[in-house]
Amino acid sequence: MSEHEATIANPAEAGPDSRTLKRVGIGAAILAVAVVGVGVASRISATEELRQTAAAAALPSVAVVTPKADAEGNALVLPGNVQAFNSAAIYARTNGYVRRWLADIGDRVGAGQPLAILDAPDLDQQLAAAQADYQTALANQRLAATTSTRWSAMLKEDAVSQQEVDEKAGDLAARMAVSNAALANVKRLKALQGFTRLSAPFAGVVTSRSAQIGALVVAGNASAQPLFTVSDIHRVRIYVRVPQGYSAAVKPGATATLSLPEYPGRTFTATMTSSAGAVDPQSGAVLVQLQAANPDAALKPGAFAQVRFQVGAGQGNALTLPGSAILYGNDGPTVAVVGKDGRVTVKPVTIARDEGATVQLSTGVSTQDRVIDTPPDAIRTGDRVQVQTASTGAKDSAHGR
């Protein structure tokens, strides 16, 4: 048997036929197409994801805050300035030197109590000269009166003329006028001499003293400091500037509580007594006055105090935002609110009270709004933004951004 015949006689040993090879080739082709398809799909997906990531990165990232109800409720807390019920600066009314000072700062003095005594030698000499002038004028007046009386008697005997009698009467009147002027000058100088003794105008506390023994005092000097300041502090006045939006809610008779930094945990009660009734165009506020009893002198003139009013319920509906969330423009204050679709809406708001770090708004926002904190000045309605998340903020902090 030949070799060819042996091969045909045993087909299993002759290898795969053409049909089998065709099937293998088709399977390999299908596998190659599948691999290529998966690769193309993966590349398209990666490209789309990259495009979306790039589009998201192109959007500005912003931080948002939510308006919150005022934690103080109906309380209106404003700064106030404490002043004495009465206060008087004591100046010298005459020139001289300080001989003695009889009261120091912190001393309680009564009405009319002497505070200092001045030496005024020039004034003493002027008074002595004025008294001498008055005596001279008085002597001339007496002589003129005697002469006028004698000439009137001689007129009855026709010894003198009426003209001469009238001249003597006129001279008497002139002498009387000179005498009165000299007396007035004496009284003026005596009054000035009385001003060498400085006294307290009312009962109170000496809150300042600049008098020094031997110091020269010049009256009428515009740059002169008061020698003493006396303050009546049995009651105090507190002046507060109330924003215009709250001016209608704060009325005379309303009570308020005061707190001072030197008395933590202690409050004082004050009553509003009067209002300026006009809005200051510079501050946009109304000046009001309160009074409070001060039996222990705890409230000091010139002190700073926090004044807490209880305003009407209508004022308690305000919401608070950080001051950095407010945009100020030609149309007034506004805020930028981010919607669910990431688009911005710029809304006008009404500021009820500006406390610096926080701002209280009466209209324009709700507790559901997402307000951009520190928005750019160029932001407009319709702009798209990306809201920062807590993880984003932590990541930025980790990278030092």
For 239-253, what is each residue's pLDDT tens digit? 999 988 788 888 899
Q: Where are the chain's structural domains?
A: 3-44, 61-70+317-398, 77-83+229-314, 94-199
Average pLDDT, the chain: 83
Q: How confident is the model at residue 393 (pLDDT cuts 50, 70, 90)?
A: very low
**Half-sphere CA count of 164, side-chain side, radius 13 A:** 13
The rounded distance, in Å, linking the Cα atoms of 42 and 54 is 18
Would you call 288 exposed, middle or buried from its count of C-beta atoms within 10 A (0-12, 13-18, 19+)?
A: buried
Residue 26 confidence class, pLDDT cut points 50, 70, 90: confident
Q: Tell me the average pLDDT across 289-307.
A: 94
In contact, 290 and 308? CB cutoff 8 Å:
no
- pLDDT: is 351 or 198 the higher one? 198
Q: How many CB atoms lie within 10 A of CB 242?
A: 24
Q: Is the pLDDT of residue 295 over 90?
A: yes
What does pTM read for this prediction?
0.58
Alpha carbon distance 63, 42 (integer Å): 35
Residue 397 has pLDDT above 60, yes or no: no
Contact present, 77 and 358 (Cβ < 8 Å): no
* Per-residue pLDDT tens digits for 350-382: 887 777 788 878 788 888 889 999 888 888 898
The separation between the first and the last C-alpha atoms of the chain, rounded to the nearest angstrom, is 91
What pLDDT does 60 receive? 81
- Return the DSSP state at 59: S
Greatest mean pLDDT range, 3-7, 220-224, 368-372: 368-372
**Is the pLDDT reported for residue 181 higher than 90?**
yes
Round to whole Å and give the CA distance between 46 and 40. 10
pLDDT of residue 313: 43
Per-residue model confidence (pLDDT) at position 16: 58
List CB contacts of 21: < 8 A, sequence separation 6 or more: none
Pick the CATH number of 94-199 from 1.10.3720.10, 2.40.10.10, 1.10.287.470, 1.10.260.40: 1.10.287.470
Q: Considering the domain 61-70+317-398 in this protein, what is its CATH number?
A: 2.40.420.20
Alpha-carbon gap, residue 183 to 130, rounded angstroms: 8
Dihedral pair phi/psi, residue 157, rounded to 5° = -100, 10
What CA–CA distance (Å, rounded) separates 139 from 131?
12
What was the pLDDT predicted at 53?
57
Q: Where is 27: in which H helix or E strand?
A: helix 18-58
Give the pLDDT confidence of 106-121 residue by residue, as tens digits: 999 999 999 999 999 8
Name which residue leads in pLDDT, 388 or 262.
Answer: 262
Residue 58: pLDDT band by 50, 70, 90 thresholds?
low
CATH: 2.60.40.10, 3.40.50.300, 2.40.30.170, 2.30.110.10. Which one for 77-83+229-314? 2.40.30.170
Report pLDDT for 244: 86
Please, which pLDDT band fits residue 62 given cuts at 50, 70 and 90?
confident
Tell me which of 37-41, 250-254, 336-340 is least confident: 37-41
**At a CB cut-off of 8 Å and minimum separation 6, what does 270 contact?**
238, 255, 256, 257, 258, 290, 291, 292, 307
Please give the average per-residue pLDDT across 207-225, as a whole number. Answer: 86
Express as a percent the part of the chain with pLDDT over 90.
43
219: confidence class by pLDDT, cuts 50, 70, 90: confident
Cα(364)–Cα(350) distance, integer angstroms: 7
Confidence of residue 73 (pLDDT cuts 50, 70, 90): low
Q: What pLDDT score does 312 carry?
A: 54
Q: Sign (positive/negative) of CA torsion 249, 251, 253, 255?
A: positive
- The model's confidence at residue 390, banded by pLDDT at 50, 70 and 90, is low
What does the CA dihedral 348, 353, 356, 361 come to, rounded to 10 degrees?
-40
When pLDDT is cut at 50, 70 and 90, the band that residue 269 belongs to is very high
Among 352, 393, 372, residue whose Cα is nearest residue 69: 352
Instruction: Give the number of other CB atoms < 10 A from CB of residue 151.
Output: 21
Q: State residue 32's pLDDT score.
A: 72
Q: Which of 367, 373, 368, 399 is nearest to 388 (CA)?
A: 373
pLDDT in tens, 11-21: 545 555 667 76
